[in-house]
Chain A
Amino acid sequence: MRKHLRRWLAGLLLVILIIPMSGCSLPGLAGSGDNTVRIAAQNTTEQQIMAYMIQGMISHYTDLDSTIINNLGSGNVSFNALKNGNADISSIRFYGTDLTTVLNEKFERDPATVKSTVTKAFEDRYHMTYFESYGFADTYAWMVKQSYAKKHHLENVSDLKKLAPTMKVGIDQIWQNRPGDGYPAFQKDYGFSFGTVYPMQLGLLYDALASDKMDAVLGYSTDGRVGSYNLKLLKDDKDFFPPYDGSPVATDAILKKHPELKPVINRMVGKISLKTMQQLNYQVDDQLQEPQTVAKAYLKQHHYFEGGN
């Protein structure tokens, strides 16, 4: 009889120990606790900087915990994380990209139309709130070295027209055959083509330009290497490349559960300019600083966007 009792007690103890473990988060980890906000970030520098900034803002203004789900492969992966309830906030999303990839709508150039279509569709179809932009737009931009620009008096993309037939240019692989705002449409709109075009991986473009292997490349306007190599961005004078304004997106569920989140995220709206983003990216990509370190320092320096600025 005693033996049986002991066995039962041991079993009971085990069950009592295990049940709370499966329910809540483990000590030391901000897992899936009830008060934890999960921020999804992709594997690019600016995504991670902004994710840490959101985290910094949340811990400064609220009592909520937050954790970052890092290194997601693409905009689609991070969107699905939100859709499936694995994450609550996506650190940066772009109207232009979401229109064609997530919503599968037809390409559209007018920024206002894109913005309203995407904002509405995210709310209606997926119950997610698209916030206003942080204030920077990530877009494709033609860039050249400062010396090259000075020598040929380059300011706008149209200025390339005369030089184009003899130029060697590097472009992002996916841009070459992209419908809507790809190379074919570019040739039609600007009315010229380049002598030799080298499609390559995005990260290699800047190095290729800096080491004079290319005359011009088509890169991302916010990339930190624009700053580190001191490249000249040419003005898109025909408004060919749609601006991809970067905005945070949050699920309606989390905003409803923690109403204090919305004003906190709104504080960041319009506060990060293209120049700022480039500088922050530069500190991470070139100055051996972690996105978290950079984000924290920036928030502190700007007093967590208290008041107006």
Chain B
Amino acid sequence: MKDMGLFSQLIYYFTHNGMYVLNQFNLTFLVSIYGVLFGAIVGIPIGIWISQNRKLSPIIIGIANVIQTIPSLAMLSILMLGLGLGQNTVIATVFLYSLLPIIKNTYTGMLSVDPDVLDAGKGMGMTRFQVMKTIRIPLSLSVIIAGIRNALVLGIGITVIGSFIGSGGLGDIIVRGTNATNGGAIILAGALPTALMAIITDLVLSFIEKRLMPKTSSEN
């Protein structure tokens, strides 16, 4: 085993533990997705709400900022006291960290909508709800997706650290690699899929973001 090169060790590892790695990959992905999904369910309405009540925005964004400054390992341990070990705690942590990028981007997206278009809508006799549905949300969707993209890449990193409170996932492979003799290949076997996951989700979401970029602005 030791006389094999790092690369062939890696190939050997994947051929013997392929299913296991795939399962852990799915697990990591699901945990981060769920955290960000809950973040979006809560964060987007909050972002919309504070864009309508501008006085509240410094308070809400301030709170989200404070959450962001807590180191992720500390946050995991704090939540562990209340929620116990396991995946739920990690999902909650990802949720908390995804709030700031999502709220902030929703808020900025809402405010950056061209006031002329809003005036036009109002002039046509649209209700507030209609303005929101047909103008504000479609025009700010790409900015909101950019926030979700940030949150997801951040979330994948946190989920990997979540291995320390027993949530499993690719982090388990990395930690085990640090314990084994000559674990270099095992560490890579955990770290490469993690990096791949982050890069791919980032690319996919940036593609969606570009597709949703409003084409109604006055320039074209």
Which positions in A face B, CB cutoff 8 Å?
Answer: 3, 6, 18, 26, 28-29, 31-32, 38, 40, 43-45, 48, 67-72, 81, 84-87, 203, 206-207, 225, 228, 284-293
Contacts and interface: CB of A to CB of B under 8 A. Distances in A.
Interface of B: 1, 9, 12-13, 16-17, 20, 26-27, 30-31, 34, 41, 84-88, 91, 127, 129, 163-164, 166, 168, 172-173, 175-176, 179-182, 185-186
A288 B166 contact: no
A70 B127 contact: no
Contacts of B181: 203, 206-207, 225, 228, 285-286
Overall SS of chain A's interface: mixed
Contacts of A18: 41
5 contacts: A26-B91, A29-B30, A43-B175, A86-B85, A290-B176
Given A31-B88, A43-B179, A228-B181, A290 B168 contact: no
Contacts of A3: 127, 129
Contacts of A38: 86
A83 B168 CA distance: 21
Contacts of A86: 84-86
A96 B201 CA distance: 49
A288 B12 contact: yes
A45 B183 CA distance: 13
Nearest to B85: A86
B164 A289 contact: no
B98 to A, nearest CB: 16
Given A3-B127, A31-B87, A71 B16 contact: no
Contacts of B172: 70-71
A29 B31 contact: yes
B171 to A, nearest CB: 8
Contacts of B186: 288
A26 B30 contact: yes
B84 A286 contact: no
A231 to B, nearest CB: 13
B33 to A, nearest CB: 9
B179 A289 contact: no
Contacts of B185: 288
A-B residue pairs, 6 tightest by C-beta = A69-B166, A86-B84, A290-B17, A86-B85, A288-B13, A290-B20
Given A3-B127, A3-B129, A43-B175, A289 B85 contact: no
**Counting chain B CB atoms within 10 Å of each CB, which of A68, A81, A86, A284 scores highest?**
A86
A120 to B, nearest CB: 27
A67 B88 CA distance: 12
